[in-house]
A and B are shown apart, each in its own frame.
Chain A
Amino acid sequence: MTAPVTDESARVTSPLTTAVTATADTAGDALQRRGIFTAATLDRCISCGFCLPTCPTYALTKDEKSSPRGRITLMRALETGQLADDDPTLIEEASFCLGCRACEPVCPAGVHYGELIEEWRDHQWRGDQRPLLVRPLMWMVDRTWRYGLAATIRRHALTRRHTDGPHLMLGCFERMLFPRVSRVTRRLRPELDATPIQGCCGALHAHNGELERGRELARELGERLPGTIVTTAGGCAAHLSDVLGRPRVMELSEYLLRQGTPPLTPLLVDGRRARVAIQDSCHLRNGMGVYRESRELIRRVAELVELPHAGTCCGAAGSYSIVRPKDSRRVLAPKLDEIQNAGIDYVVVVNPGCQRQLITGLRRRHSAIRVLHLAELLGMAAE
């Protein structure tokens, strides 16, 4: 017969045996805080786990450490020194997180996870720890003249006059990858001022471990573009509104709903209304709560087809698709299935990262479905 597990047997320990401690992992216990995280934000999590079903990386792994709650538990261990800075799980999970913030709207305690992941990377990715691939990108957008050169190569929108706004922000990536978006936007709303020298919103820095530089860039941009800033990139909108305040920032769909569009003719495909789906921008939806507006606009020109997971991340996630291409594709795959099975003509995006991600993904699958920015779709309907 097997002997029961008793206190006697417990005295035999092994090298792998860890000490069992029942401790509070929030403030007030014996463990010292290191000040890596804003205490009030980190303490807010009640560990209920409601975020688990919304997390794309948890869906891939079904492992607690790759969930928002698990990552907060890891952050707390980092904060209190229970886990060291160079713990491989800490390094991996800080990077594996998409930063999509899908966990925020469902959180009953209102944890600002987006702030925590930025603080985490700010600490974890200091110096050599920053992913190699993201460094040249950050270098590129850090000075206005560098991507200013792009204007001479790519024909994005430009206006020479200087006004108090409203200003059309020319996102660093969008102006290079999809210059048409800003041109069409100015056709829809000609009063938008597209000054060439604007600067970067700083989201890339903030999400990649240079939180303060990211904020500084946003403030500089705010000074160069006084008044209302209109942006066609959901990611930029969310970061700018975090730093400059919500009233200064309007994402395109919000702006168009408020200011109106030129007369629109419904788009037809084979004599019927075009069938159009939307892929939300994570930070626009989860950070700013803006997602109804784009749908409202699509409905004016086409039949809106709601994808079951339109609100979940496509895997682009800022620089994620560059830093972790394999995981990015794993996140994308089920989304492409959904898009291909929806019987649609177009899929609309409101962020250049999502645009690139879906175009690449659908091209790889030889799909005929076209990816358009919301501005481009409305531009077609306005012609």
Chain B
Amino acid sequence: MPSNPAGGASVTMTSDPVTSRVDDRLLADLEAVVGEQHVRHTPGDVHPYSRDATPLFSSAPDVVVFPASTQEVAAVLRLATERRVPVVPRGAGSNLCAATVPVRGGIIMVLTRMEQIVEISAVELLAVVQPGVTTAMLADAAAARGLLFAPDPGSRIVSTVGGNVAMCAGGLRGLKYGVTRNYVLGLEVVLATGEVLRTGGRLWKDVAGYDLTRLLTGSEGTLGVITEITTALLPMPQTALTGVAYFPSLAHAGRAVSGIITDGVVPATLEFLDQKCIGAVEDYAHLGLHRDAGALLLFGDDGAPDVVKRNLQRMADRCAAEGAIDITVGGAVAESEALLEARRCSLPALSRLQPLTVLEDATVPRPRIAEMVDRIDQIAERYNLLIATFGHAGDGNLHPTACINPADGDAAVRVERAFGEVFQAALDMDGTITGEHGVGAAKLPYLQARLGADQMALLRRVKAAFDPAGILNPGKLGS
């Protein structure tokens, strides 16, 4: 059996054989629940659901179902628990940790038919949506009412809100605005055994019981299927401006970041590119970047125009004080947008270098970013790999990105080993193996190193409490 070169340790198929038991009777029962046209089971029809946005992970489901309501979700889950067939809930399949790859086959439950924006309340500053609504759809609908849906994962144009909550998606504004979990007020969730629960609700204050809303947020489809989300919104900031600064080294940029924050500014944007990224972006987009600089720092803020302007000036001053080679501050929104182009181009530029792009997201405490990137560079050199790093300087969330040609001998194996060392380096610095992408099948082998045996055991007990038959996304968190 072919093994997975980059995740060989994670998906040990030989010791963990198929658990799906999909037969004609189950297919008929599923069709009775969601309608014949919403069940797919031919090899060609299920194959496109063998993967998500994670490179190197692929495993076909036996059947794909498209429920349209909470009741249908519940009925499918009851069937699956009764027959002990795995169920993997899926939104747009844009996650980067193989969270929606059905490593044990079974049922893929696609929630994109549930795509109603149920309510947007400007008075209560919240939205109620079904899980299949895309992040961009919700953000646009909120913006039309003068409101901001703050979480902005890179995949926002395709990702679903259900997927964002299940994965606790992050984004570019983590430091100032937090991530998905900071906005989820309440959930409707269906347990594996078919009970429909409502956790939390429309309240900012509500301490009745364990905080199941937070537990379910980031549970990666292993504890329940989210069928409705109540999420907090914010007033739309009046304006947003961005600046860019080049530094001789990432260490200089790191000191500027620390300085900006101790100066009392909590910027909406604080993104960096290392030298390799700058070079790749410049080769690709010809933006006129200084390719001899050691680091590029994008800084920005949003809010009332005078406050934003003042904060931009303070950040620019701090960059200058820490030895920035060159600083540009966008005076207008359009100029600011243009400056962000370097960051937006990072992944496109890197993904063109080689056929395979492996994007990771090790995260360290903010003051240790430069040290961590140094470690990444050393590891990359040792394994003879191109690993360029960009990321969110505000929250220490790094995206070391390896560009390889899988046909090039053992490149995939070297990437796996190198990233194993990168994760360990992050842990050594009080960091984590994943800041925003999630665990899924891809990071499961590294999870114990992050959590320890006791916490892993507790995760399994939590999982068993929610899903006694173990049908929900097996082979992932809590397995």
Contact = CB atoms under 8 A, between A and B. Distances in A.
Given A50-B157, A52-B158, A63-B110, 11 more contacts: A5-B470, A11-B17, A21-B59, A22-B11, A22-B59, A53-B134, A62-B110, A65-B47, A74-B47, A83-B44, A93-B44
Nearest to A92: B44
B2 interface: yes
Given A4-B469, A21-B59, A89 B45 contact: yes
A135 B60 CA distance: 36
B94 interface: yes
A65 B84 contact: no
A259 interface: no
B237 interface: no
Contacts of B55: 24, 26, 46-47
B412 interface: yes
Contacts of A6: 19, 470
A69 B51 CA distance: 10
Interface string B412-448: 1000000000000000000000000000010000000
- Using C-beta atoms within 8 Å of the partner chain, give the interface range for chain A: 35 or more
Contacts of B50: 25, 73
Contacts of B79: none
B13 interface: yes
B29 to A, nearest CB: 13
24 contacts: A2-B82, A2-B469, A5-B104, A6-B470, A14-B21, A17-B105, A18-B60, A20-B13, A20-B59, A20-B105, A21-B58, A23-B2, A24-B5, A24-B406, A24-B412, A27-B407, A28-B407, A44-B355, A47-B52, A49-B52, A53-B134, A63-B40, A83-B44, A106-B157
A64 B49 contact: yes
B145 interface: no
Contacts of A341: none
Given A62-B112, A73-B50, A108 B351 contact: yes
A2 B351 contact: no
B16 interface: yes
Contact of B94 (A3, A48, A93): A48
Nearest to B8: A22
Interface in A7-62: 7, 9-31, 40, 43-44, 46-50, 52-53, 62
Nearest to A51: B158
A2 B44 CA distance: 32
B55 to A, nearest CB: 7
Contact of B468 (A1, A69, A106, A109): A1
B300 interface: no
B357 interface: yes
A151 to B, nearest CB: 45
B350 to A, nearest CB: 10
A20 B60 contact: yes
A250 to B, nearest CB: 24
Interface in B26-45: 27, 40-45
Contacts of B407: 27-28
Contacts of A69: 48
The 6 closest A-B pairs by CB, nearest first: A89-B44, A28-B406, A70-B48, A43-B355, A108-B348, A22-B11
B348 A40 contact: no
A74 B44 contact: yes
B155 interface: yes
B157 A65 contact: no
A52 B348 contact: no
Contacts of A325: none
Contacts of B62: 16-18
A90 B45 CA distance: 9
B234 interface: no
B7 interface: yes
Contacts of A25: 50-51, 58
B17 A65 contact: no
Interface string B460-474: 000010001111001
Nearest to A33: B407
A7 B136 CA distance: 41
Contact of A24 (B4, B66, B105): B4
B113 A13 contact: no
A24 B405 CA distance: 12
A5 B474 contact: yes
Given A16-B24, A21-B13, A109-B348, A46 B48 contact: no
B1 A21 contact: yes
B22 A53 contact: no
B134 A49 contact: no
Contacts of B352: 44, 109-110
Interface in B332-362: 347-348, 351-352, 355-357
A367 interface: no
A206 to B, nearest CB: 25
Interface in B68-107: 81-82, 84, 86, 92-94, 101-105
